[in-house]
Amino acid sequence: MNSTFIIGKAILLAILITILLTSCANNDKDSYENQYLYIPDSSFEAVLIEEGIDSDGVLNQRMLRKDASEVSVLDLNFSSEGVISDLTGIEGFVGLRKLSATQQEITGIDLTHNTLLDTLVLAGNYISNIDISNNPNLILLDVQSNQLSAINGLSKAAHLKELNLSFNELEEFSIENETLEILKISNNILHSFDVKRSINLKNILLTTNELTSVDFSKNVKLETLLISDNKIQNIDLEHNASLTHLYISSNSLTDLNVGGNQELIDLKVDRNPNLNCIKIESGQNIPNVSISEYQELNITCE
């Protein structure tokens, strides 16, 4: 047997051993990743231990995927275990229907794998962008008091009823969602706002923004419209016959006609310096009215 043949067999054997060892290592890695979730945030893991979810009861930056997959409700609010800043590992909670983590220091969250979520409350964090494209079952989404400048996937939330985006940094907002009934988006920096394709809206909180005009002509089910503290110059409420509450104080209105809003029971229109007369219909009674001393309700306004 010549030396070349012997060397060739040795090389082949070395290659086969390398492949086998690599395969075993990869299988071990796959087995570990399939069995465990990585939980880098010690406060997050401490809450999971405290609530009996992380069954090994040890702060070791990991938990069984099986433990996570069996959780349907996860409440991370007001924990004594410290402030949570990282929710890495949440992707393993594939059965989660309700997640609440308020007043933490979370800057971002990946909800791609939490497809069953119907309630998501992340108020009082530092989130600048959120994507709910993979959360079509959401009914309630509350992300008020964050640093949001964008939100993606709203049109895919086919069951969404209530959305709270107040106290964020949104400059533009447009939504096409026929299930949405309650929208709270006060205290942003909005200069563009479009809800024409959300035809079932009943309640809108839109105070303290920078809007100069709005269009609610398609929102015929509107009952409550709170839009004070903007820069609105005119508004057409002809198509909003169901309106019961209208707060439009502290704007730049020059005229206002609420004669077609016979269901109105509460009207606040004070502090519009260029608005002297609010037009009503003969016999129309609005039980609660707040106007400035230079303003009046009248059936004729010139």
The stretch 182-210 carries a mean pLDDT of 98
The stretch 33-57 carries a mean pLDDT of 92
Instruction: Choose between 230 and 14: higher pLDDT.
Output: 230
Calpha distance 162→70 (Å, rounded): 27
| Domain locations along the chain | 1-35, 170-302
The stretch 63-90 carries a mean pLDDT of 93
Answer yes or no: CATH 3.80.10.10 is held by domain 170-302.
yes
pLDDT for 29 equals 46
pLDDT grade for 79, boundaries at 50, 70 and 90: confident
What is the model's pTM?
Answer: 0.88
**DSSP, residue by residue, 204-236:** EE--SS--S----TT-TT--EEE--SS------
What percent of the chain lies above the pLDDT cut of 90?
A: 87
pLDDT grade for 17, boundaries at 50, 70 and 90: low
pLDDT at 1 over 90: no
Tokens of 93: 């909670």
Q: What is the CA radius of gyration of the chain?
A: 28
Calpha distance 86→60 (Å, rounded): 15
